[in-house]
Amino acid sequence: MDRYSDEKDTEICAVKLQISLHTIITVTVYRSPAGDIDYFLNNLEEALNHIYNNTVDIILCADFNINYLNDNQDKQALNSSLTSYILYSKIDFPTRIYSTSQTIIDNIFINKFKNENYLVPPLDQRLIRP
């Protein structure tokens, strides 16, 4: 995945696991907050095109530096791209908590239709909402 990485915009690494007849590809992504969002989205799409097919499960773990607590153009563009690969966010709690703010800039995306019961709880159990 080196060809899809550019230190100022996108860093991508992937691991392919073959377990019997089941293939899982775990992809980690970092997007610099100072990077070009359009370049990042195009690069991510090229990388996903390279690995995607209907028989592979993809787990995308990422620090996108796009706050999923707020609706914004970057979030909409990223969601639009990822839904074309049937990848949906599984994080619904703040991943960065400061004294004056909270964000969801770290995220995990999976194919929710293949993995409906997949849960991602916060490490700090006090953050789980009732």
| pLDDT confidence of residue 8 | 75
| pLDDT confidence of residue 114 | 64
Rounded CA gap, 125 and 13, in Å? 29
Rounded CA gap, 92 and 77, in Å? 19
Question: Is pTM beyond 0.85 here?
Answer: no
| pLDDT confidence of residue 121 | 64
Rounded CA gap, 25 and 17, in Å? 6
For 20-85, strand residue ranges (E) read: 22-31, 56-63
| pLDDT confidence of residue 9 | 80
Assign residue 90 the CATH number of its domain: 3.60.10.10
| pLDDT confidence of residue 2 | 60
Per-residue tens of pLDDT for the chain, all 130 residues: 566 677 778 899 999 999 998 899 999 999 999 989 999 999 999 999 999 988 899 999 999 999 999 999 999 999 999 999 999 998 888 888 888 989 999 999 998 666 666 667 677 655 545 4
| pLDDT confidence of residue 99 | 83
Please give the residue range of the domain that contains residue 8.
2-127
User: Is the Cα torsion angle 61, 65, 68, 69 positive or negative in sign?
Assistant: positive
Q: Give the total number of structural domains in the chain.
A: 1
| pLDDT confidence of residue 112 | 67
